[in-house]
Structure 1
Amino acid sequence: MELQQLDMDGGGAAITAAGAPSERSKWLLNSPDPPAPWREMFSSMKETVFPGRRKGKQQLPRTNRALLFMQALFPILKWGKYYKASMFKNDLLAGLTLASLCIPQSIGYANLAKMDPQYGLYTSVVPPLIYAVMGSSREIAIGPVAVVSLLLSAMVSKVVDPTSDAAAYRRTVFTVTFFTGFFQGLFGLFRLGFLVDFLSHAALVGFISGAAIVIGLQQLKGLLGISHFTSKTDVLSVFTAVLNALHHQWYPLNSVLGCSFLIFILITRFLGQRNKKLFWLPAMAPLLSVVLSTLIVYLTEADKHGIKIVKHFKGGLNPSSLHQLNFGGPHVGEAAKIGLICALLALTEAIAVGRSFASMKGYHLDGNKEMVAMGFMNIVGSLTSCYTATGSFSRTAVNYSAGCETVISNIVMAITVLICLLFFTKLLYYTPLAILASIILSALPGLIDLNEAYNIWKVDKLDFMVCLGAFFGVLFGSVEIGLLVAVVMSFGKIIVSSIKPSTEVLGILTGTDLFCNILQYPMANKLPGILITRINSGTFCFANASFIRERILRCVTDESNIEESSKGRLQMLILDMTNVMNIDTSGIHALEELHKKVTARGLELAMVNPRWQVVTKMKASKFIEKIGAGWIFLSISDAVDASIHLKMNGLNTC
């Protein structure tokens, strides 16, 4: 059946004979081949290392390219030129305020990670200094955080028991930190930021909320003065350990001291929230609690009456831990696995925190550059007796409220912590463990976001199930189970939506050239003799090819029955491929089968707007030759005009 030349409404484009593409279709079919995957990866790496590099023949001078490279690697070289003394005043105040909160929290988080207290302070010196010259966030506060500390203690303890071999445990933690930094840097260099999204927002809300409760339960050891406690993190094990301890070995004075200062810290936080000018009060409260409680214990000799104290506390500069990294031992595989998990979790928290505060200040945060910066700081940290560091939400909020201008506040904080390590660690000998527990407990309410969980429930019930799965996985299983449940359920949601994508029948809105889903827009009208379907999937692949083919054939059958009942005949199936970004060989095979079956029914198959990757693979597989280049169209309107012309020719032939 021949198609005569027909002028189209798009500016002179025409359909010639059957099988010959119109001028507009030639634009689509003659597009150049897309870049190879390896070239895209190389280009993305080059963009990370040399941002803003010009393409084409005209290149920047070599000195300028070297400067761009150095500014991309060390953003401080770019904004440092405009730094003023007036800005340093604000950064100094913010850094000192940050240090007052950081010092007690770092000691407490080191205890949570089952490391000696000085390692928490070490982690608040080197990583913030490295990030200050490599990071791009102005407000983020770097150091140890509760969730990562819990993750390390929960997972590394299963590899090496910290009570029986503390040195081996410490070596494993440093090795895990090295792998964490290695993976973070790798993600940033290869622009693999999407890997962070494997932990969806809903999964992260549930996981962090569950982890906050687990962390709180773990602090009962210090709050009650229990010497021997379970290493498990699930609720049942912790409650059983607490009940057993209450019958034998707890000291009420620890609870009295810890609860008293916990109430004091919470009151100062309430006052700070009511009056923003008093932001320094809740920030200073933890350090003030440490100083006062230490003095009380020292003056009253309460440590001789059951109060548990820190005791062992080494000061001085960060010692080298290069010789402690263990890449040849039996646990290197486990260390790498834990490092990968820590890398994803730490990056998710840091980038979420950084972007939140960057949006408040009105600037953009490059996630890939952040990954490179955090990867390098954790690698250097692992060589200088630090465990995994990342951005802390609570300390970043304090930094922001204190009026920080740049990451110089991190440098001020690190120098202050270093001075504490050099001169004041002996004064912390009598610090009660109950105070460290109360400081950690006071930070936990900010991790449990009930409002966000309620919003997730209102917006997406499946997302809420993911949130609950992660929450209960951490609470009644372990940290690893909670993470596994969160990732599996998130992937399950993606897989279900991928293997069963929707296909929709389109109709035209009267008086327009717009084609819309007839279910969403009941006023849209189907065109007689023409079935227009759209595939709502980004990929047409092995996982969904058969499902999509059967859905389309079912629509063809239903539409044919409707046309026959109205004494008409379905003549053309128009397949809108606009949403399909990529296709594989299974998808091509499904299209070939679809073409055979619709032509066997006496229908023509037209395809609309196949995307760059799709049309390239259809040409490579010679599928376009099978259906004819004249049946590939740039828009639905072009395909409908061709169908109408085909119908008119059919009537004339008759």
Structure 2
Amino acid sequence: MAKSRKKSGFRFSHYFPILDWGRSYTAATAVNDLVAALIVTIMLIPQSLAYAMLAGLPPEAGLYASIVPIMLYSIFGTSRSLAVGPVAVVSLMTAAAIADVTRTLDVGYATAALSLAALSGTILMAMGILRLGFIANFLSHPVISGFITASGVLIAASQLKHVMGIDGGGHNLLEIVSSLVTHVLSANLLTVAIGVTAIGFLFWVRKGLRPALIKIGLRPRVADFLAKAGPVFAVGATTWLVWNFDLNASGVQIVGAVPQSLPPFTWPDLSMDLMSALFMPALLISIIGFVESISVAQTLATKKRQRIDPDQELIGLGAANIGASLTGGFPVTGGFSRSVVNFDAGAETPAAGAFTAIGLTVAALFLTPLIYFLPKATLAATIIVAVLSLVDVQTLKRSWIYSKRDFGAVAVTMLLTLGFGVELGVTAGVVLSILLFLYDTSRPHVAEVGLVEGTEHFRNIRRHAVLTDPTVLSLRIDQSLYFANARFLEDYIYDRVIDNTDLTHVVLMCSAVNEIDLSALETLEMVNTRLKEMGIDLSLSEVKGPVMDRLRRGDLLKHLTGNVYLSQFDAFRALAQPKPPLNKISVVAT
């Protein structure tokens, strides 16, 4: 009974990680979490407002999306450092998805955002319950990097209209640039001055403020805190300028009135028409958000030798998004910049996120009147500086040097994102990742191997000086066999044996084969029959236990013309002819 209770308790805490880290929570840990929360809150206030604007929503939606979702993640999430909330790429995808839906359906913009968050949260929760966290592995890092880089460029370009104080828009880079050029002569010079100054200041804050503060004698920890608060300084200074000199009367666009309130209770529209229209965008947002979040979470967890459970992360992110849909928000995920700040500031548990939510609640209740005169150009500057850090053009160079195929995938993803918008770009990235995987696995590396003289090791005859026998063809299969690559192996074997009249044995070295599905099994049975008709025996070597267990359930072993050998050396020793002498193959390629 005691053992059963222990197992049941473990399962319960597995789905509620707060029960795990909460048991050892101390006052010292709470202090560290509070300090981290203070720094992240200061950083998150302007970011939340800015990302709401990027998503096409009122500024307060950014604050609402950063309160309840963080609290829910702190209960269900497994990362000790991940900071959940609005992020640039997901906000851009939200804007694109909602704009398309509101053009075709009679639904409000804010309502569509709530429904998108609810659907995304439901998808994430379902994936977590079904333990589909492995799905992130199907998205190659170069393709995701290409998509995020292109999205960063799109986001930065889309915010230039606010920096210039002009009308503009578009879903791709060409439309955005064309719109900016069309309206450039109507730019508001005061807005341009505020926006450009804010951009320059924020870039300098990232690199130069901390060293400058340390140089004048401040302690590193204080300098770090002030550097992280750089965006708040920009917000405060530009807001004061607009208020003091009445610049809004001169055409400087401002945020305006923001409600002083707690996140309201909202209910998404769950009508079938809207859910159907939003399903694909929600699925893409869920996958991209999860990939970004899990990448950050695992990177930070590794530094402290902590463990991240991808399946539970899906549940945590799903709960956060459902929470956003019920409290006036929009889709959220784990943000890179704020998570790194949270980690560097000393956050030890997800309670830091809960404290951050409390700080944002205070801001929503008491500080919103202070941002009435906040210029939109400053928020745009905040977004531009944040997203340009996501732009990684080095990915193109690295992929070109390492793999032309990966370079092609990255380039296509970037071009489609820039040329046709984020939805087509991310769809292309997902499809390309899967197609690249299928292409790679459909053409497994098959090496003809020979014996390294004086050893029992077998190596590729094109890379090493080895011994071979003209009557024995030894082929090492370097991948599992399944329906997509079985025909390739079949053709490879036939091409190799068809004109070789000396061959009497073919040995398939299966040391790298972890799986043989039914299609591949049937192909091997056919190969065995065809080789038998040619007077050639088929043997296997180094078959792994689980694979052998599966083979015993079929007919291949019953009709195999050769044998199954424990090692390739055993097979070669049994089948090679002592006369004529073995051929010594020299290296012909490296």
* Match of residue 43 from structure 2: 101
Q: Kindly tell me: are residues 158 and 612 of structure 1, through their superposed partners in 2, closer, same or farther at Cα, counting changes over 3 Å?
A: farther
Write out per-residue CA displacement over residues 311-370 of structure 1, whole angstroms, 9 at most, x where no aligned residue: 141221111112xx2222422112122111111000000001111111222222222221
| Shift of residue 298, structure 1, vs aligned partner | 1.6
Q: Kindly tell me: are residues 338 and 105 of structure 1, through their superposed partners in 2, closer, same or farther at Cα, counting changes over 3 Å?
A: same
Counterpart residue identity of residue 557, structure 2:
I
1:289 to 2:234 alignment: yes
CA distance in 1, matches of 2:475, 2:66: 58
| Shift of residue 633, structure 1, vs aligned partner | 2.6
Q: Kindly tell me: are residues 450 and 273 of structure 1, through their superposed partners in 2, closer, same or farther at Cα, counting changes over 3 Å?
A: farther
* Match of residue 575 from structure 2: 643
Contact 2:540 2:564 in 1 (8 A): yes
Counterpart residue identity of residue 526, structure 1:
T
CA distance in 1, matches of 2:344, 2:554: 60
CA distance in 2, matches of 1:553, 1:213: 51
Task: List aligned pairs for 1:96-245, cutoff 5 A.
Answer: 96-161=38-103, 168-226=108-166, 228-230=167-169, 232-245=170-183
CA distance in 1, matches of 2:459, 2:482: 21
* Match of residue 491 from structure 1: 434
CA distance in 2, matches of 1:508, 1:272: 63
Q: Kindly tell me: are residues 609 and 214 of structure 1, through their superposed partners in 2, closer, same or farther at Cα, counting changes over 3 Å?
A: same
Write out per-residue CA displacement over residues 501-550 of structure 1, whole angstroms, 9 at most, x where no aligned residue: 23211111112111222123x22211342111122332232x33222112
TM-score for the superposition, normalised by structure 2: 0.91
CA distance in 2, matches of 1:62, 1:314: 52
| Shift of residue 307, structure 1, vs aligned partner | 0.7
1:480 to 2:480 alignment: no
| Shift of residue 161, structure 1, vs aligned partner | 4.2
Residue 455 (structure 2) aligned to one of 496, 500, 512: 512
- Identity rate, percent: 29
* Match of residue 595 from structure 1: 528
CA distance in 1, matches of 2:545, 2:96: 47
CA distance in 2, matches of 1:334, 1:197: 27
| Shift of residue 631, structure 1, vs aligned partner | 1.6
* Match of residue 280 from structure 2: 337
Write out per-residue CA displacement over residues 275-329 of structure 1, whole angstroms, 9 at most, x where no aligned residue: 664222332111122122222212222111101011141221111112xx22224
Residue 485 (structure 2) aligned to one of 536, 544, 554: 544
Counterpart residue identity of residue 203, structure 1:
V
Contact 1:225 1:434 in 2 (8 A): yes
1:316 to 2:255 alignment: no
Q: State the secondary structure of the residue aligned to 1:525.
A: strand
Residue 581 (structure 1) aligned to one of 509, 514, 523: 514
Q: Kindly tell me: are residues 220 and 181 of structure 1, through their superposed partners in 2, closer, same or farther at Cα, counting changes over 3 Å?
A: same
Q: Kindly tell me: are residues 282 and 161 of structure 1, through their superposed partners in 2, closer, same or farther at Cα, counting changes over 3 Å?
A: farther
CA distance in 2, matches of 1:281, 1:161: 44
1:373 to 2:312 alignment: no
| Shift of residue 623, structure 1, vs aligned partner | 2.3
Contact 2:469 2:577 in 1 (8 A): no
CA distance in 1, matches of 2:136, 2:210: 32
CA distance in 1, matches of 2:422, 2:32: 39
Write out per-residue CA displacement over residues 394-446 of structure 1, whole angstroms, 9 at most, x where no aligned residue: 11122222222222221221111100111121222211111100111111221
Task: List aligned pairs for 1:525-544, cutoff 5 A.
Answer: 525-541=467-483, 543-544=484-485
| Shift of residue 160, structure 1, vs aligned partner | 0.7
CA distance in 2, matches of 1:369, 1:273: 37
Residue 634 (structure 1) aligned to one of 566, 573, 576: 566
CA distance in 1, matches of 2:82, 2:395: 22
Q: State the secondary structure of the residue aligned to 1:534.
A: strand
Counterpart residue identity of residue 385, structure 1:
G
Residue 407 (structure 2) aligned to one of 440, 464, 470: 464
Aligned-residue CA RMSD (Å): 2.3
Q: Kindly tell me: are residues 361 and 557 of structure 1, through their superposed partners in 2, closer, same or farther at Cα, counting changes over 3 Å?
A: same
* Match of residue 225 from structure 2: 280
CA distance in 2, matches of 1:64, 1:318: 39
Q: Kindly tell me: are residues 383 and 62 of structure 1, through their superposed partners in 2, closer, same or farther at Cα, counting changes over 3 Å?
A: farther
Counterpart residue identity of residue 189, structure 2:
P
Bigger CA drift: 148-157 or 506-515? 506-515
Contact 1:581 1:612 in 2 (8 A): no
CA distance in 2, matches of 1:198, 1:115: 32
Task: List aligned pairs for 1:353-368, cutoff 5 A.
Answer: 353-368=296-311
CA distance in 1, matches of 2:61, 2:20: 32
| Shift of residue 60, structure 1, vs aligned partner | 5.2
| Shift of residue 645, structure 1, vs aligned partner | 8.9
Bigger CA drift: 385-394 or 95-104? 385-394
CA distance in 1, matches of 2:98, 2:326: 18
1:267 to 2:204 alignment: yes
CA distance in 2, matches of 1:72, 1:273: 40
Q: Kindly tell me: are residues 355 and 511 of structure 1, through their superposed partners in 2, closer, same or farther at Cα, counting changes over 3 Å?
A: same
| Shift of residue 617, structure 1, vs aligned partner | 4.9
CA distance in 1, matches of 2:481, 2:319: 36
CA distance in 2, matches of 1:65, 1:491: 38
| Shift of residue 270, structure 1, vs aligned partner | 1.3
* Match of residue 380 from structure 2: 437
Contact 2:486 2:519 in 1 (8 A): yes
Contact 1:508 1:527 in 2 (8 A): no
Q: State the secondary structure of the residue aligned to 1:313.
A: coil
Residue 304 (structure 1) aligned to one of 249, 258, 269: 249
Q: Kindly tell me: are residues 273 and 473 of structure 1, through their superposed partners in 2, closer, same or farther at Cα, counting changes over 3 Å?
A: farther
| Shift of residue 608, structure 1, vs aligned partner | 2.1
CA distance in 2, matches of 1:554, 1:234: 49
Q: State the secondary structure of the residue aligned to 2:467.
A: coil
CA distance in 2, matches of 1:265, 1:192: 39
Residue 6 (structure 2) aligned to one of 49, 61, 64: 64
Counterpart residue identity of residue 541, structure 2:
V
Contact 1:106 1:144 in 2 (8 A): yes
Q: State the secondary structure of the residue aligned to 1:448.
A: coil
CA distance in 2, matches of 1:596, 1:539: 18
CA distance in 1, matches of 2:132, 2:197: 47
Write out per-residue CA displacement over residues 370-393 of structure 1, whole angstroms, 9 at most, x where no aligned residue: 112111221222122221111111
Contact 1:265 1:282 in 2 (8 A): no
Q: State the secondary structure of the residue aligned to 1:573.
A: strand
Q: Kindly tell me: are residues 640 and 438 of structure 1, through their superposed partners in 2, closer, same or farther at Cα, counting changes over 3 Å?
A: same
Greater Rg over alpha carbons, structure: 1
Which structure 1 residue ranges, 5 or more long, are not aligned? Answer: 1-58, 562-568, 649-654
Aligned length: 572
